[in-house]
Amino acid sequence: MASWLESHAPRRFDELAMSESIQTNLQKVAVQANPPHLILAGPTGVGKTAAWRLIARQILGPSWKSTTHVLQARDLAKSAGAMKKFEEFLKPGGSSSKDTLAGRSSLDSFDSNLTVADEGDAPPAGVENHARADASTAKVSRLIIIEDADHLGPTRQPYLRRMMESTS
C-alpha cells in the first residue's frame, strides 16, 4: 500500500506548489532531448523531491523507478567509510573500473515499451518523451539523484563534479 505522501503527490508539473515560472522551467527541462544536470535547492518541504520525481517520470517513462538511483548524502555524513560507500554508489565495478553508474545503459532505454504505464500514470508534461524522440537523439537511460548533496563535503563534491564532467 502506498504511503499518504505517494498517493497525494503531484502527477503533473502544473500540480506542483511552486510558481508558474518554475513549473514551466521544470517541464521544459524534462522534455528536452538532452536534459542538463540539475541542482534543485531550497528549504525542507518546498517540493524538491516531488519535482525530481516528475522530471524522472517524464524523462525515463513508466519504468523511471527501476532506472533512477537515489543516494541520501546525509547518511554518508560523519560515517566511517563514507568515501568508499560514495565511490561504490557511483562506480559499482570498483574504484579501478571505468564502469560508472552514469555510463551504464538499461533495456528500458532501448525499448520504452518494455514497461507499461499503470492506470492513471500519465506523463507529467502530457506526452511521453519517447513518442517525440527522433532516431538521432540518444535516449537518457538512467538518472542519478543525490539528495542532501550539501552533506557530501569538500572531498566528495569535487570527485562527483569530475565524474560528471568526464561521463557526460
Distance CA 9, CA 58 (A): 15
CB 73 within 8 A of CB 146: yes
- Sole residue written with cell 570527485: 159
- Taking residue 146's Cβ as centre, other Cβ atoms within 10 Å add up to 21
Cα distances (Å, whole numbers) of residue 168 to 29, 35, 79, 97, 154: 16, 11, 29, 17, 22
Position 126 pLDDT exceeds 50? yes
Locate 78 and state its grid cell: 560523519
In the 3-class helix/strand/coil scheme, how is 44-70 assigned residue by residue?
Answer: CCCCHHHHHHHHHHHHHHHHCCCCEEE
Distance CA 131, CA 48 (A): 27
Sorted by where each starts, the structural domains of the chain and their CATH numbers stand as: 4-167 (3.40.50)
Distance CA 115, CA 40 (A): 28
Return the amino acid letter for 99. D
Would you say the pTM of this structure is higher than 0.85?
no
Distance CA 72, CA 77 (A): 10
Distance CA 74, CA 151 (A): 5
What is the pLDDT averaged over residues 128-144? 63
pLDDT in tens, 9-38: 999 999 999 999 999 999 999 998 888 888
**Average pLDDT across the chain, whole number:** 79
* pLDDT value, residue 100: 57
For residue 122, what are the contacts with CB-CB under 8 A and spacing of at least 6?
11, 12
